[in-house]
Amino acid sequence: MLVELQVTNFAIIKYLQIPFFSGFNVLSGETGAGKSVILKSLALLMGEKAMVDTVRSGNDQAIIIGAFDITSRKDICNRMSEMGIPSDEETLIVKRVLSAAGKSKVYINGSLSALSSLREIVSPLITVTGHLAPLIEITGQHDNRHLQSKAYHLDVIDQFAGHWNQREQFTKDFQKLQSMIEELQEIQQRSMEREQRLDFLRFQENEIESLALEEGEDERLEARYKTLSNAGRLNDFFTQAEQMLYIDDDSALTRIERILQRAGDLEKYSLKLTDRLLPLKEARTLIDEVVHDLRNFAEELEADPNELNAIEARLTQVKRLQKKHGPSVTEILQSLKQIQLDIANLEGDDDRLDNLKKQITQLQLELKVRGEEIHEARLKAARTLSKKVNSELKDLNMKGVELQIQLQRSEMSSTGISDLEFMISNGKKDVARSLSKFASGGELSRILLSLKRVVGNNDLPRTYLFDEVDAGVSGPTAEKVGRKLKTIADGQQVICVTHLPQVAAFADHHFLIEKKNAHSEVSMKVKELSKEDRIQEIARLISGEKISKTSLQHASQLIKDSHYL
């Protein structure tokens, strides 16, 4: 709810401060007094682009400030929090600073903000009951984009039909469907890359598995390769060792034999000599064993002349894998496990793809059925709503203007399978035309008034600005307009510019707009009227500048009949 408006150096306004209240607020005044200027300033608070020529002559800048009570609008608080704008959850202060040089600034609760942020908070394009409900709705010559929005038309129907929860669930499931379709497309788009990746991984898997590697095999191969590649040196050593230990006339074994033979001749002189020479006998046995082992080793080196080539070839294969997967067979085998895991995951994409296709098909079928149900409910609601709104319009003396609701099936979207638009015609024989393109400001105001009367005010509380709602009506019709506006204002806030006494009489708060000429300077003044002043103003609206006793009596009676005196 708008609780206060401050305007400085804007158009003909030098300084203006107006307190607004809940319920029905009326603005009246002579033609040209500046009522449209106030509505223009309010439109700026909703995010309308500023014009340079709106800054009052002789001043560098104009300032418009609006204070809103948002205690009952937690959605606004949440929206501000998401945008990083400070909020005390009670008050919203919007400030527009318009420079004569052409620059404009927006402040929301003291925080410098973008114009788009202001629109998103105060006057988003959508909806009636959704999370983007506007704080202000204005119809007339300044701003009627809500009533001109097809999305808004659909919201009105869904609120009237009473299936808002079903629609919200449909929207959630449709968004889920879109996410699933996007995931499917991503998997399909990378399917060729996936196949190429699978081919590469399977090649690597086969390459490793074909070698049938064992833990530590690389170390054993390296050791055997070194031995075989140095077989010549080893054989030379074996031959030399055999000769020195066993074959030569002066070999170690020959010398030991001589020593033992000589000791045998001397045993008779010392019984301990035999014991002392036991290790030497063991040495003779060890030399025999060493020579035997060396001969066997030499034979092993010569057993398979192709072994060296085979080991060299296998080492080459192992080293090639080591360059790809790590410096050891252990790391190669670990890499094989990871490759096999990657293959399993990629092959699992096929299963995920099949499951995803099944889920998408199932959800599409479900949404189609639910979309049809919602569409049928909309058809029924559209017929009832248009009938009731047209009854209201007839009551408002709209001279044959009728609201028609065009509803057709469309491609599935987040709101269902319906393409809906409000149309107007000027009689049964007249072709229905788009409301957004052909309705006048006055028609839009009275259509909104009728819609609110029919649909009700069980949505989030907000401010309705009605301009030209009473254009072209008088007498009993004017009284009906006033009574309907009074009904709309119950639990909401209505600010209405009017020149009809029958409408003004229903006001909870009545403001008079006056234009002043002083010292060749034009300015504007607004004041809230007392009970007595209201009688005077309504009498002026009845009879013009020459207020008579009869017009005063008539004004008093109008207010009395409206239950306010």
- pLDDT single digits (tens) 405-430: 999 999 999 999 999 999 999 877 78
Q: Which of 59-63, 333-337, 424-428 has the lowest mean pLDDT?
A: 424-428
Report pTM.
0.64
At position 98, the amino acid (one-letter code) is L
Q: What's the pLDDT at 217?
A: 83
Mean pLDDT of the region 174-192 = 86
Chain-wide mean pLDDT for the chain? 85
Asked if residue 296 belongs to a domain, the reply is yes
> Which position has the higher pLDDT, 475 or 65?
65
Task: Name which of 134, 46, 59 is nearest 96 in CA terms.
Answer: 46
Asked if residue 537 belongs to a domain, the reply is no
Mean pLDDT of the region 555-560 = 90
Asked if residue 125 belongs to a domain, the reply is no
Asked if the bond preceding 254 is cis, omega within 30° of 0, the reply is: no
Q: What's the pLDDT at 141?
A: 47
Which tens digit of pLDDT belongs to each residue from 115-134?
A: 989 988 887 644 433 445 67
Task: Name which of 340, 407, 336 is nearest 376 in CA terms.
Answer: 407
Integer Cα distance of 106 and 116 in angstroms? 10
Query: pLDDT at residue 565 above 70?
Result: no
CB contact at 8 A, 1 and 463: yes
Tokens 């109008």 belong to which residue?
Answer: 558
Which tens digit of pLDDT belongs to each residue from 541-556?
A: 998 878 888 999 999 9
Backbone angles phi, psi at 563, to 5 degrees: 65, 35
Residue 86, token pair as written in the block = 């400070």
Asked if residue 341 belongs to a domain, the reply is no
Asked if residue 257 belongs to a domain, the reply is yes
Please state the domain count of the chain.
Answer: 1
% of the chain at pLDDT higher than 90: 31
Mean pLDDT of the region 452-464 = 77
Integer Cα distance of 134 and 126 in angstroms? 7
Asked if residue 430 belongs to a domain, the reply is no
Q: How confident is the model at residue 24 (pLDDT cuts 50, 70, 90)?
A: very high
Which tens digit of pLDDT belongs to each residue from 300-330?
A: 776 566 877 888 888 888 888 888 888 888 8
Query: pLDDT at residue 19 above 60?
Result: yes
What ranges in 252-328 are assigned the alpha helix state H? 252-266, 272-276, 278-301, 307-325
> Which position has the higher pLDDT, 245 or 97?
97
Three-class secondary structure assignment of 334-353: HHHHHHHHHHHHHHHHHHHH
Which residues, 6 or more positions from 140, have their beta carbon under 8 angstroms from its beta carbon? 39, 441, 442, 444, 445, 465, 466, 467, 468, 469, 497
Backbone angles phi, psi at 254, to 5 degrees: -60, -45
Asked if residue 292 belongs to a domain, the reply is yes
Q: What's the pLDDT at 495?
A: 92
Q: Which of 154-168, 385-399, 509-523 has the lowest mean pLDDT?
A: 509-523
Asked if residue 366 belongs to a domain, the reply is no
Answer positive or negative: Cα dihedral of 51, 54, 57, 59: negative
Half-sphere exposure of residue 198: CA atoms within 13 angstroms, side-chain side = 14
Three-class secondary structure assignment of 192-207: HHHHHHHHHHHHHHHH
Q: Whole domain around residue 305: which residue ranges?
A: 217-327
CB contact at 8 A, 24 and 485: yes
Integer Cα distance of 437 and 427 in angstroms? 17
Residue 107, token pair as written in the block = 């402040």
Q: What's the pLDDT at 228?
A: 75
